[in-house]
A and B are shown apart, each in its own frame.
Chain A
């Protein structure tokens, strides 16, 4: 397997009126092609910052971040599923999903056809002509996921996509993500604050330290696929989440101390 994402010694310093904020320090990460990697860490440790750097939406202060292009020319390198959905309120559901394709100049008929197929796959076929304010939060996040998948990027970057949803909706979407990922096998970097979610979805779990973010430990998730929600009741699942929690606990404590 070839490496798809390489991040070495990444550092990010925000220059604010209150002084410099070190968001990331000595951050290393390597993701292989077709791998599903989860990043877990206490709030404010720089997870979103790293993802934005990876997506090219922000520049790192120092270090190297690369996504290695695939063989297909013209394929977008990465697309982000944002923490805040970020689907456009002024576009219908289907136009939102077709957005990336439209930006690349795909003709209308073709892009709507692809968008419709992805809407069907996330169970929103009936809502194609709705506007975002007419659908629920869970549906909005599905639109956001469909928008990224329809654009078919080399790498999918997801920033706590299910963080704002209620427990039931989250469970349903987790299963959907598992199913879709097992069909597409895309390279995914997935940020979450839930250890259970990370272990359920990921091939590997990266643990980040509190402020400034450094990667503290990596766990391989050897639970066989296909996984379902029932996987969560297996013994190896519980052992792994517990082990991660033991390490994360200190960091959360430290983060809370620091915020006081």
Chain B
């Protein structure tokens, strides 16, 4: 079902774009009316993309969506690049993306003086290390890279928080007494910024500067999000499913395994998505203030020594980690819940 093409409209939109930007440029309006420029350009761009989108046949729609989803951030980067190169943006604070990319490459391939490792460790040493120390040596090589350190903290903390979170949330969802007793406390602790309890958590560990307290705070953050969502998921199960299960002879364990757990799973996953995002936020914050390794540490370090392109490189790596982790969880979700 393709709609008729109207070249006139398309030409009109394109002409408006060119004309508007020409006027803005030659009348030197950008300086004081940049907000107008941004607003009108954004509106015209949306109009253009949407108009073109109408001609895209249904089977190419997904590809077109993908092009838009990837194309827009690239466009933003291009705008940033031009503005930084022409000194519209101060390149000291907003270095052009091309320089950030170079910085990212340097961070990945060169070891820094203070941590003697790169973002990803020193993979170029793998063959040599494998010959001398075997697999443990290889693992140690990986474990030293900033990205892996951060990922390990996020992952271990997340798992250590989510599993008890699911357990406690289940109990709260199924048992009224437990729920009534815990609900207020949970809601109160839930709103507390978890980074605020980091100093106390440090004191609870034999080695306050080791991995223990960092992972613990991530776990605590994940725990509350997952627990509260699991409880909601259990409580939102339509009672008719529970009646049906009982009517068909399910015992307590079967009721849990066949109805309550799968019934709550969608909301549990929603909670885990939130928890994973929060885990990343928390760990970066902790690495800012107290860590010798990790992407957050690297980012903050280069901010302190004013190498801004490397700081931005760190920020981009953090965003990239967020996207990858969320995507991984989504894949897992589709595997575990094929009925959705």
Residues of A within 8 A of B (CB): 52, 55-57, 76, 78-80, 82, 84, 86-92, 99-100, 102-104, 131-133, 147, 151
Contacts and interface: CB of A to CB of B under 8 A. Distances in A.
Contact of A90 (B238, B254, B337): B337
Interface string B246-265: 11111100100011001101
Nearest to A92: B339
B338 interface: yes
A84 B243 CA distance: 12
B241 A79 contact: no
Contact of A55 (B241, B247, B340): B247
B47 interface: no
For chain A, what secondary structure do more than half of its interface residues adopt (helix, strand, loop), or is it mixed? Answer: loop
B80 to A, nearest CB: 44
A79 B247 contact: yes
B249 A76 contact: yes
Given A86-B238, A90-B263, A147-B248, 13 more contacts: A55-B247, A76-B248, A79-B248, A86-B241, A86-B243, A88-B259, A88-B262, A89-B339, A99-B245, A103-B250, A103-B258, A133-B340, A151-B248
B240 A100 contact: no
A151 to B, nearest CB: 6
B244 interface: yes
A57 B248 CA distance: 11
Contacts of A104: 249
Interface string B65-89: 0000000000000000000000000
Contacts, number: 62
7 contacts: A82-B240, A87-B244, A88-B244, A91-B262, A100-B248, A104-B249, A133-B340
A100 B339 CA distance: 20
B240 A84 contact: yes
Contacts of A56: 247
A76 B244 CA distance: 14
Select the residue from A87, A88, A131 with max chain B CB neighbours within 10 A.
A88
Contacts of A76: 248-249
A227 B111 CA distance: 86
For chain B, what secondary structure do more than half of its interface residues adopt (helix, strand, loop), or is it mixed? Answer: helix
Interface residues of B, number: 22
Contact of B249 (A89, A91, A100, A147): A100
A99 B258 contact: yes
Contacts of B248: 76, 79, 99-100, 103, 147, 151
The 10 closest A-B CB pairs, nearest first, are A100-B248, A90-B262, A86-B244, A103-B249, A131-B339, A86-B240, A90-B339, A103-B250, A80-B247, A57-B243
B285 to A, nearest CB: 37
Select the residue from B247, B254, B258, B338 with max chain A CB neighbours within 10 A.
B247
Nearest to B337: A90
A131 B338 contact: yes
Contacts of B259: 88
Contact of A57 (B247, B339, B340): B247
A99 B243 CA distance: 13
Interface in B214-254: 238, 240-241, 243-251, 254
A185 B179 CA distance: 47
A102 B238 CA distance: 21
A247 to B, nearest CB: 31
Contacts of B265: 90
B254 to A, nearest CB: 6
Nearest to B261: A90
Nearest to A132: B339
Contacts of A84: 238, 240
A107 to B, nearest CB: 16
Given A76-B249, A79-B247, A103 B254 contact: yes
Contact of A82 (B244, B258, B262): B244
A88 B260 CA distance: 11
A38 B250 CA distance: 28
Contact of B258 (A55, A88, A131, A151): A88
B258 A57 contact: no
Nearest to B339: A131
Contacts of B238: 84, 86
